[in-house]
Structure 1
Amino acid sequence: MAGSVADSDAAVKLDDGHLNNSLGSPVQADVYFPRLIVPFCGHIKGGMRPGKKVLVMGIVDLNPESFAISLTCGDSEDPPADVAIELKAVFTDRQLLRNSCISGEKGEEQSAIPYFPFIPDQPFRVEILCEHPRFRVFVDGHQLFDFYHRIQTLSAIDTIKINGDLQITKLG
């Protein structure tokens, strides 16, 4: 009987150690890798520059209305930060709208795309490549459109904001 008590004590210690480790890891990871919860706001280290790419991977919600990905100059709400580019996927119209907002003034909205790339309940990969005169936007590896810079100081574009009907699985 004494042997079984010792065995069960050893098992408890092992289980406790295992539980502590599994509970400790995610908490520790959150400190270094904040959870990708929508709405999301994150810092782009060093801002944008030609050759730099922003990657957003996620899954569209099951019954989406819209979602937006914006690159902004800071995260100020009042006054609102300048928006270098906002990509807004609108599922009712199957449109991918692009615009900017500088000093509170929206620019000319662009909507022409060869096809609508997002499917409800399916994963996607958006890459926004910064080139000297423009952003080049790829969805699932296919170039969809170019958006010419309306903010000339690229390094000021240092924040990414994501909101709407999607889950983010990876940012890079």
Structure 2
Amino acid sequence: MSLLGNVINPNVTSVGSIPGGNLTPGIQIVVQGVAPAHSEGFSFNLSSKISDSRCDRALHFNPRFTQNCVVRNSLKNNAWAEEETNNGMPFRKEAPFEIVIVTDLYCYKISVNKRNFCVFKHRHPLAGVNTYSVEGIVKITSIKFLEIRTPTCSVQPAVTNHHGAQPTKPKLNPPGCSAHPAVMNHHATQPTKPIFNPAVPLTTGIPGGLYHGKMIFISAVPAGTNRFTFYLQEGSLHNADVGMVFDVRFNFGSCVEMVIRNHRSRGTWGQEEHTIPYFPFVRNVPFEIIILSESTGFKVAVNNQHFLEFRHRLMPLARFNMLHITGDVTVKQVRFQ
């Protein structure tokens, strides 16, 4: 474990930057302080700063003495989501406290005074969280940011770095995290040579076609306010059969912050799938998508967090031998494994 930053006696209501720029899995945040006798409550917030006048809150951790509970919530576009208030009230006025928040692939794991308190599932992309803040009546003595070796609540997809290092092994879920499906379950293979900074639209072959255990890594940056799309297709013709289309729509027609999945057979599109747990993309913020082909369907992770699954509608998989990318996106790297 290594220390990334330590803020001593921060001013309440001030906004600070996350050391390193953005949160990643495996960061531990330790908040120490005390609430005075006249305190009605306070909050510690992890946020995505959108502009000088707007922050979306990924985690709002709010002990309330007046209601004898701790509220957890998120805020997007100035609208609060659903509150979580279970697990009691471990804070007492005039008693020192320690809050430990561990960032994970799927959740924030929070303990209070050395005891596990709650898990708060991610509602906003972790990679976009870049600020912290304290509000209310409280005296904060320190806020520490530490890097730990591995996250504690997840299966992490095998990832290689940009220098061609060998893929890491998946981490297994500990007890208590079974609600989150494993993103990857595959036989280790050698990655092929990456494609760097290709022009868009891009059409490139998938070495060996798709098969059980095949992985596609796409690192990119949303470059506009419209949409971008990934196609896994048979051949390069414009009306080719498509095993899966992954269509990210920021603002397209009647679709706002949606991800559409579908297939196309003999020129005809199938039934669209729209349901997503959250919208993980932010304009001008880099992301990485990992698509894993399994025997029953595709599993998709965004920024090392399991995002969704799409069951196979067309077989055999090996016929889908091309990756086609279009739209408002700047592609930094494509890699097959």
What TM-score, normalized to structure 1?
0.77
Q: Which structure 2 residues correspond to residues 6-155 of structure 1 after superposition, within 5 A?
A: 36-61=198-223, 63-77=224-238, 80-92=239-251, 93-155=256-318
Whether the 8 Å contact between 2:202 and 2:325 is mirrored in structure 1 is yes
Secondary structure at 2:289 match in 1? strand
- What is the percent sequence identity of the aligned residues? 29
Secondary structure at 2:263 match in 1? strand
Q: Give structure 1 regions of 4+ aligned residues with deviation exceeding 3 angstroms.
A: 32-35
Secondary structure at 2:274 match in 1? coil
5+ residue gaps, structure 1, are: 1-31
Secondary structure at 2:318 match in 1? helix
AA aligned to 2:233 is T
Residues of 2 paired with 1:144 and 1:83: CA distance? 20
5+ residue gaps, structure 2, are: 1-193
Residues of 1 paired with 2:306 and 2:276: CA distance? 10
What TM-score, normalized to structure 2?
0.40
AA aligned to 2:293 is C
Secondary structure at 1:151 match in 2? coil
AA aligned to 1:91 is F
Greater per-residue strand proportion: 2
Q: 1:109 to 1:153 in 2, by over 3 A?
A: same
1:33 Cα deviation after fit: 5.4
Residues of 1 paired with 2:249 and 2:222: CA distance? 12
Secondary structure at 1:94 match in 2? strand
Q: Which has the higher contact order (CA 8 A, sep 6+)?
A: 1
Whether the 8 Å contact between 2:196 and 2:332 is mirrored in structure 1 is no
CA displacement 1:23-81 (0-9 Å, x = unmatched): xxxxxxxxx957510000000011000001011110111x320000110011123xx21
The aligned length equals 138
AA aligned to 1:117 is P
